[in-house]
Amino acid sequence: MRTIEGVAGKGVAAKRLTGRVALAVSAAWLGLSLAGPAAASGAGLPAATSSVSCNDANGPYTSDPANCTVAGSHAIIAGEPYVAMSAHAGDGSGLPENAFATLSYSFEVTGGAAGDIVPISIATNLFTSANYPNSAFAEIYTDGSGEDAASASVCTDGSCPLGSAFDGALHLLSASGAVRTLTIFIGAEEGYLTTGDAVASADPFIGVDPIGLNPDIYSIQLSDGISNALPGGVPEPGAWTLMLLGFGGLGAALRASRARREAASAAT
């Protein structure tokens, strides 16, 4: 398993910033231009598979490939213009309900010579929040093993080492021409006679890690109907490096800015 870098923890307010927005803010904070080749849909790659389900004690169980709503539970999966998933459960009725979403799609490194070993980074924001005893979880993982695989999971019940939220990057190796699989699974559950709600979200972005040799000769292809384009474009390899390094600084900057605002408010 390759390394994980980023900001992880249980701070709910700061983690409501989605991974997609976090990437854009990180680039702006570092003075970077989000330009460069976007990941393309790959002709011939296996089709993406997705499923959402919603259930409420007062309503019927509902499932769908992309979105569902039953009472206070709802789930949605979007593959374009970038991958975004969310699940919510909780309507204040005090009756159990849940929402789940699963997405699995293929990615392939193209360019260079077939079989070249290419470092890959998967930038993602995994977010969960729930009023106990409600619960939520979000996980992301690839196929493969050892350095050829990567995974991360967060949850609200205290059992996940990364806590309830993760905003950072996963690293793995992939051979050029090899068809790989990325899977994301999220869920939110409201318990019996509870108040509040539970939410979970995830939004991955796959890129060629510039730590490798000649990263500009490689690109990422995805299953048809799946895109990981950023608002404004995808960063150049040099900018991508700085953005990955900037994730930790972004979290620190957000916390420091919030502390300054709270201090100023208290002083007045």
> Among residues 201, 211, 209, 206, which one has the least CA distance to residue 182?
206
Q: What is the pLDDT of residues 149-199, one digit of tens each?
A: 999 999 999 999 999 999 999 999 999 999 999 999 999 999 876 778 899
Top-ranked range on mean pLDDT: pick from 2-16, 121-135, 171-185, 192-206:
171-185
Query: Residue 20: which pLDDT band, with cuts at 50, 70 and 90?
Result: very low
Output the furthest CA–CA distance in the chain (Å, rounded). Answer: 64
Give me the number of domains the chain comprises: 1
CA 200 – CA 184 distance, rounded (Å): 11
CA 74 – CA 22 distance, rounded (Å): 24
Q: What is the pLDDT of residues 195-227, one digit of tens each?
A: 788 999 999 999 999 998 899 999 999 999 998
Range of the domain at 165: 4-267
Structure tokens at 143: 């196929």
Q: How does 82-113 read in b/e, with b if 16+ C-beta sit within 10 Å?
A: bbbbbbbbbbebebbbbbbbbbbbbbbbebbe
Residue 39 DSSP symbol: P
DSSP string of 92-120, one letter each residue: SSSS-EEEEEEEEEEEEEESSSTT-EEEE
CA 45 – CA 48 distance, rounded (Å): 9
Q: What pLDDT score does 95 carry?
A: 81
Backbone angles phi, psi at 264, to 5 degrees: -65, -40
Are 124 and 171 in contact, with CB atoms under 8 Å apart? no
In this prediction, residues 55-75 reach a mean pLDDT of: 85
Q: What pLDDT score does 71 carry?
A: 85
In this prediction, residues 67-85 reach a mean pLDDT of: 92
Q: Which carries the bigger pLDDT value, residue 252 or residue 124? A: 124
